[in-house]
Amino acid sequence: MHRKALGRGLEALIPGAAVMDPAESKSDSVSMLSLEDVRPNPFQPRTRFDPQALEELSSSIKSTGVLQPVLVRKHVQGGYELVAGERRLKAAGMAGLDAIPAIVREVGDREMMELALVENLQREDLNPIDEAKAYQALVSKVGLTHDQVSERVGKQRSSVTNSLRLLGLPVEVQEMVSRGTLSAGHARALLGLDNAGDQLATARYVQAKGFSVRRTEALVARKLRRRHSRSAPARQSAYTEWETKLQQKFSTRVQIRAGRKGGIIEFEYYGSEDLERLLEAWGVVS
């Protein structure tokens, strides 16, 4: 079942921090801090900020001020370090403000990393690759399981696992997705190709031609059909169609190997978490 977004995450990690509204947390005092005294969050997962969105936020801050305090912690070398609220901090600077309202908390590195990652994931405006890298950091650096990540960010576990699979694409393809010249849908279609060279060549072709996701899926399917036909000339065309449908449904590579009286259907998986995702989809485990 899809979990309601913001069900846990920041609020679960630091009670009252999900919205950081001083009116709702009397124990939190809001201080005005000089922008020059606030260092950026070193664990910020976002590599690109939408310039137009920042301009809009800056304009809003010019007219109404910063309505929601940022969250900071004291830095060992003096000043403060941002925990959450980097867009507000950047936009406040663009608006010409010298100071920003802030709540100061005692937060450790691990907790700070988790807060930064979860806050950005809950806002749902990360590009697909930054999102995948944020999930990866929660798993590899914070030590969460896919289920725990799913619970923190209010996403289905399968969504988290499928997002992580994008990091298996060549770096150049990931950059295309980060820039927005290819969508996550395009990237998922390219995962049907098991060769990095094929993935990159197809990505460049799709980008140059301006293919839709559907056309990209069809192109990948044709490539797979040609590959299969070369290895098995007498192969039934229906098998290829079924493979394509299965690949689209289960988001992984599928091969049907037919024999005289029977055959084998092979589903590829990419680690134990991905195997569990497939087993859940088949109803083997719940």
Q: State the CB neighbour count (10 A cutoff) for residue 256.
A: 17
Question: What CA–CA distances, in Å, run from 247 to 165, 184, 188, 225?
Answer: 14, 16, 10, 13
**Residue 22 dihedral angles phi and psi, to the nearest 5°:** -60, -25
Task: Tell which residue, 156, 160, 121, 113, has the closest CA to residue 14.
Answer: 113
Q: What's the Rg (C-alpha) of the chain?
A: 23
Active site residue 268: no
Q: Is the torsion defined by CA of 87, 90, 92, 98 positive or negative?
A: positive
Q: How far apart are the first and last CA of the chain?
A: 11
Instruction: Single out the catalytic residue among 86, 131, 243, 276.
Output: 86
- What tokens does 212 get? 């839709």
Please give the positions annotated as active site. Answer: 86
